[in-house]
Structure 1
Amino acid sequence: MDSQGDPSFTADQLRTILISIRVASALSLVGVIVIITTVCLSPRFRNPMHRLIFINAFYNIFDSAATFASRAGPEAGEASVLCRTQAFLNQMFPLADVLWSLVMAVDVYLIVFRRYDAQSLKKLEWKYVVAVTVLTFIPAFSFLFLRRGNGDRIYGDAVVWCTIPPSDPIIRIASYYIPIWLSISITLGLYFRIGLEIIKRRQALLSISNESVQLDDTVLPLTPVPLPQTAKTSQETKAGESDIEPASSSWASTPTKASHVIQSVTPLSTPTSTTPILPCPTPNSDSESTSQNRIHLQRTSSLSFRQYIIMPLLFALTLFSVWVPSTVNRIVPTIDSSFHSYPLLVLAGTSCSMRGFWNAIVFVLVGRGSRAHMRRAAEARHMGRSQSPV
């Protein structure tokens, strides 16, 4: 294909494509910055799901850089370093974005069916990085050196940017669209399986639907604070320890043990005072104990179970808005070589340039839900303290 662009589109149309793609790419870069900054500055956004989004954000940087270049690659010539670099990035990182959505679904599956906790999921992250990078890097890098049967390079001008051109539909579909839609299908299949399990255990979930999944390993442990020497602390611990079932109920690996420790601080007039110090009475009713257990659970996570399910599911659904226009724009011309749709080309180029933006939108929306959840948990803790006997 001529490196100056498809002859069926005018110079003004190509300029419009360039502007729309660069605006979309700029929005994606802003979204990436929001994700990275938020995770770095806020410890409550460091649960397993947010960490995966954080890792994917660095992949989105290279993705957005490639799409931001847009027509600059083809205009530099198919043999130029810019065009070949852009094509390499366009081949590797969009596929990586889809694979990270699949990884999120795998994490949820492991929580529900394999009883993984935060530490177990964290140990898998480096394996995810290696797998996603290797699976996407090898074909993208190989295409830099491979040539077609006629001696031409595999990477070339695809009108909106450099990648595998429409003149090689089989290579493009086999190395790009088939892996992408296979990953999307597996992702949706996992969520379908998870959904069936949730429906099956609906009654158990109803009683804990507003509780938190203990997947936030960034919360400091509840340890006593050292007191000055001018005060004495008396602690009364209930004789038995009670099992707390986390929000994932039967899916949690082991029950969490928690003892109810009541502290009372009595200032002393002199260090040798022998005035007896009476500890606060411990609650006796099962309802109060259950209430305290739930408050404890809410302090250990920044994401509810529903939010942990909804976040990656929203990511999976946004894949459709990104990949349906692009796939149609590539498949239809393969079937009908005379087909050229300028609106579809603009839509495909713009949607593919907004991957980082959509990731940030989902991140922010679920993050707002997380903050509201933590606010309700704080109110519950406050009510629990105010209702405690003095």
Structure 2
Amino acid sequence: MTSHAQAYTLGLLERVGGCISLMAVLFVLLAYALIPKARNPRNTFIMFACVANLGASIACIIARDGLNRGEDSSLCRAQSFLLHMFMQSDAWWSLGMSVHTFLVVFGRTDPNSLSMWRYCLVCFGGPFATAFPLFFVSNPIRGPVYGATNVWCWIRDDWASVRLFTSYLFVWTCIIGSVVLNTVVGYRIFTTRNKIRNFSSSRSQHSTGHDQLSFANSPAHLHGSPYATIVTQVSITRAPASIITEPSPTHLHSTSQAIRSSSQEQITHSSIITSHNVSHETPRIIKAAKRAITKFRLQDPIKRAYLRTTFLFTLSVLVSWIPASINRIHSLQHGSVPFPYQAAMVSVMPLQGVWNAVIFYMTSRKTLREWAWEKWGFKTLGPVSIAGEATERVVEEANVNRHQDPADSGSDVELNYILRLPVKKFK
């Protein structure tokens, strides 16, 4: 049993954390509603998770008032439902974002082709399906499922197995699934990145060696010149009326002139040749590798941005539920929970909305600064990197032709998009 001072401390921690989380959630919802550029698929997941955090924050602000009203009061039962449904919904949305990132990386899914109603059906419908029926579950011996606990109204200790299988089991399944998917995606991204880097490095070394060999075989008087030009001279001793047939200009740009020697019937044909391609046909494997490198360099920042957001989202859920899980394990083993454990749980769990707001700001800070500059005309945290932001929003805002070959990167469309961006001058 907790003393009066301990109960007051727990209630204060719950209210403070709930109020901070509520303000953070409102910030995310307002930013998502007011800034169109912030409405990308990653932020859409965070926004819906913040809707769940809104319900959990309200439940935390109620704090111990439900306990003071009594287990049978409507306030206590409402707080129990809000905590049971919305507190675990954050973990469901974390798994949903991990699944979406997996599909983007492995399934070559367009990030904009997002069926949010399916994710909403699962991530809200799953917790609702476990929370709503508990209103009607009761037992003459153990009483109703929703009732008083040590810190707030939730599932009563007499129904500990129900709390375990309808809350903690789902939460940790979502957390483990998110960690596994993030690990697989991260391994795929960084191994592919290393392969591309190694290929580019070996190709660069091969090209350098070839250039050095050609340079060594070139005439000595060209070594010191910054510009090398191949000069071909053909001497023909024949009648002056002969017609000189020049090379086909299909792949060559040539400047030719005929010089007649006064001493003899000799025509010297001087041709300055500049070639744009050494070989007539580049091997197909090199072309395919070039397309792969171009495509990976374009998509790599986007995929890493998805992975970073998903990883931070999963980490926030993990941090929120570790104290509560330790609390539950200690309760099952010893039948009671020390006050420090309870204080740690009520200090961390209400802050889920804060973590999501931090993630939202970290992934959208450039967009937020741009919007603040356009709206009020002041610079918040320094100049905006237009090229970096454009690269990050390539897949989200550039419409690449869906009918082209999958190996093509659509870089022309994206390059034109980047070049069309206005350049802002910051004083």
Report the Cα distance in structure 1 between the residues aligned to 2:310 and 2:362, rounded to whole angstroms: 12
CA positional deviation for 1:44: 1.8
Report the Cα distance in structure 2 between the residues aligned to 1:83 and 1:384, rounded to whole angstroms: 54
CA positional deviation for 1:47: 1.0
- Decide whether aligned partners of structure 1 residues 15 and 204 sit closer, same or farther in structure 2, where only a CA change above 3 A counts: same
The match for 2:204 is none
CA positional deviation for 1:169: 1.9
CA positional deviation for 1:152: 0.3
Unaligned runs of 5+ in 1: 1-7, 208-283
Residue in structure 1 matching 2:5, options 1, 5, 12: 12
Residue in structure 1 matching 2:173, options 182, 187, 206: 182
Report the Cα distance in structure 2 between the residues aligned to 1:134 and 1:95, rounded to whole angstroms: 12
Residue in structure 2 matching 1:350, options 340, 347, 351: 347
**Secondary structure of the structure 1 residue equivalent to 2:158:** coil
Residue in structure 1 matching 2:158, options 152, 156, 167: 167
**Secondary structure of the structure 2 residue equivalent to 1:351:** helix
The residue type equivalent to 2:116 in the other structure is: E
- Decide whether aligned partners of structure 1 residues 154 and 112 sit closer, same or farther in structure 2, where only a CA change above 3 A counts: same
Report 1:264-279 matches (<5 A): none
Which range moves more in the overlay, 130-139 or 100-109? 130-139
1:292-349 CA distance string (max 9 Å, x none): xx9xx98xx9x84322210111010111210010111111111112x43111101101
The match for 1:68 is 61
Tell me if the contact between 1:304 and 1:373 (Cα under 8 Å) persists in the aligned partners: no
The residue type equivalent to 1:57 in the other structure is: C
The match for 1:30 is 23
The match for 1:230 is none
The residue type equivalent to 2:168 in the other structure is: Y
Tell me if the contact between 1:112 and 1:194 (Cα under 8 Å) persists in the aligned partners: yes
Report the Cα distance in structure 1 between the residues aligned to 2:30 and 2:331, rounded to whole angstroms: 41
Residue in structure 2 matching 1:126, options 96, 117, 127: 117
Aligned-residue CA RMSD (Å): 3.3
- Decide whether aligned partners of structure 1 residues 197 and 27 sit closer, same or farther in structure 2, where only a CA change above 3 A counts: same
Report 1:175-254 matches (<5 A): 175-203=166-194
The match for 1:93 is 86
Report the Cα distance in structure 1 between the residues aligned to 2:39 and 2:73, rounded to whole angstroms: 41
TM-score under structure 2 length normalisation: 0.63
Report the Cα distance in structure 2 between the residues aligned to 1:140 and 1:384, rounded to whole angstroms: 49
CA positional deviation for 1:177: 0.6
CA positional deviation for 1:384: 11
The match for 1:147 is 138
CA positional deviation for 1:368: 2.5
- Decide whether aligned partners of structure 1 residues 46 and 377 sit closer, same or farther in structure 2, where only a CA change above 3 A counts: closer
Instruction: Work out which of the two has the higher radius of gyration on C-alpha atoms and give 1 or 2.
Output: 2
CA positional deviation for 1:74: 1.0
CA positional deviation for 1:366: 2.2
Percent of aligned pairs with the same amino acid: 28
**Secondary structure of the structure 2 residue equivalent to 1:156:** strand
Residue in structure 2 matching 1:316, options 309, 314, 317: 314
The match for 1:368 is 365
Tell me if the contact between 1:78 and 1:157 (Cα under 8 Å) persists in the aligned partners: yes
CA positional deviation for 1:205: 6.0
- Decide whether aligned partners of structure 1 residues 366 and 205 sit closer, same or farther in structure 2, where only a CA change above 3 A counts: farther
CA positional deviation for 1:375: 5.6
1:20-49 CA distance string (max 9 Å, x none): 111101111111011111111222211111
The residue type equivalent to 1:350 in the other structure is: S
The match for 2:407 is none
**Secondary structure of the structure 1 residue equivalent to 2:135:** coil
Unaligned runs of 5+ in 2: 199-275, 278-289, 370-383, 392-414
Which range moves more in the overlay, 367-376 or 36-45? 367-376
CA positional deviation for 1:84: 0.5
The residue type equivalent to 1:26 in the other structure is: C
The match for 2:330 is 332
The match for 2:52 is 59
CA positional deviation for 1:383: 12
- Decide whether aligned partners of structure 1 residues 92 and 358 sit closer, same or farther in structure 2, where only a CA change above 3 A counts: same
Tell me if the contact between 1:307 and 1:369 (Cα under 8 Å) persists in the aligned partners: no
Report 1:283-294 matches (<5 A): none
